Amino acid sequence: MVGGLFMDRLDNEGIGMIWARHFPKRAENGSSKSLCLSLAMVIRLRARFMTHHSDWSDKLEHVLAAARIPKGQFATIENEST
């Protein structure tokens, strides 16, 4: 407990809900785009640290499915960040 508040970790479902709210707004809203880019980084990190899949694409697909984020949307953010 920090300062009387519990610091809960954002789960995959929460990431998916935030993504669904902000992905459509990313072209017009810089904050939404930044948030999606940050979530993409979190998703990549979660996939990297998975131990029960050996192939990168399997790891990434597993995390995306758990968050209910379409692979095409994730790819769009990845392409927009380069």
pLDDT digits (tens, 9 = 90+) for 14-43: 999 999 999 999 999 999 999 999 999 999
CA separation (Å) from 70 to 21, 51, 62? 13, 22, 11
CA 6 to chain centre: 22
pTM to 2 decimals?
0.84
Any idea what the Cα angle at residue 28 is, between residues 13 and 32, rounded to 5°?
30
pLDDT digits (tens, 9 = 90+) for 48-68: 998 887 899 999 999 999 999
The domain segmentation of the chain, as residue ranges, is 12-80
